Amino acid sequence: MPKEQPIREILAQNGFKFTKSLGQNFLYDKKILEKIMDDAQLEKDDRVLEIGPGAGTLTRLMASKCAGVLSIEIDRALMPVLEQTLNGYENVSVIFEDFMKLDIEQLYSQKLCPGFKVVANIPYYITTPILMRLLESGLPYKSITVLVQRQVAQRMAALPGTPQYGALSCAVQYYTVPSLKSRLGPGSFYPPPKVESQVITLLRREAPPVETKDESLLFKVIACAFAMRRKTFLNNLICSFGLTRAQAEELIQTLGLPPDVRGERLSLQEMAKAADYIYTLAKGG
């Protein structure tokens, strides 16, 4: 295994300047990196898709213990840094592109295989778009382990009726089973962020936990439920779907819920039933 040079030295040697707009905070503590490896449950035969390798500290650790790592990095200024950090690791491939603009189906067919695992330390400002792109892709990943702002991790795993529960909770739990893992303080990064972070692992579901007649309509109902939190679900239904008050009241009654219920009280199962009710209405049922 190649000798590991301290990451701050490598950054300094290459004259690397952090780009504030990219939200760059690099992990450097090996004990923390090993905890993330444990959280991701990586094994020697695993192939890993890494989004946001940064300076490559986690990349080289994964490469030393897994079959292969494919890393996607948006910042080309990190090219010489990663060349130095990953020197000697033959099972790593780095693509310098914006993940949000990549053809990920083509990437999968050319570079990955069924059951691959995703590991990501991505800028907090773009966590949700990247995560939703992965979840909605339909690619046969086994798990996604992502390091995010702690509040976002809590939202992903939140249950109905809790303050953190929202549209992100529903989307994540529709596609995966979330599990909160290690918490990290700002001192685990260079430079330190202003917030606490947490690792969360999302195990891909073989099938969604609910059945629905129209998946896209279900997600519209989810968006409707949390569109205006101060409004009741009934009023949000009227505004979002053009239902009459009588239709909205009947829908709520069908769900066995009180008329003043708010969206954050509804489970994914109840939202699926609401979507099917609206679907049937639209079809003239």
Bridge partners (DSSP) of residue 93 are: 70
Bridge partners (DSSP) of residue 179 are: 201
Residue limits of CATH 1.10.8.100 in the chain = 215-282
Q: What is the pLDDT along the chain (285 residues), one digit of tens a residue?
A: 555 667 778 888 888 887 776 777 788 888 889 999 999 999 999 999 999 999 999 999 999 999 999 999 999 999 999 999 999 999 999 999 999 999 999 999 999 999 999 999 888 788 999 999 999 999 999 999 999 999 999 999 999 999 999 999 999 999 999 999 999 998 888 888 888 999 999 999 999 999 999 999 999 999 999 988 788 999 999 999 999 999 999 999 999 999 999 999 999 999 999 999 999 998 876
Contact 23, 46 (CB under 8 A): no
7-204 fold: Rossmann fold (3.40.50)
Contact 172, 131 (CB under 8 A): yes
In order of 37, 61, 101, 196, the CA distances from 140 in angstroms are 21, 24, 20, 31
Of residues 100, 134, 97, the one with CA closest to residue 117: 134
Residue limits of CATH 3.40.50.150 in the chain = 7-204
Q: Decide: pTM greater than 0.85.
A: yes
Is 132 buried (19+), middle (13-18) or exposed (0-12) by CB count in 10 A?
A: middle
Question: 215-282: what CATH class?
Answer: mainly alpha
Contact 209, 174 (CB under 8 A): yes
Contact 180, 200 (CB under 8 A): yes
Helices marked H in 188-285 — which ranges?
215-225, 233-241, 245-254, 268-282
Q: In whole angstroms, what is the distance from residue 52 CA to residue 140 CA?
A: 20
DSSP code for 13: H
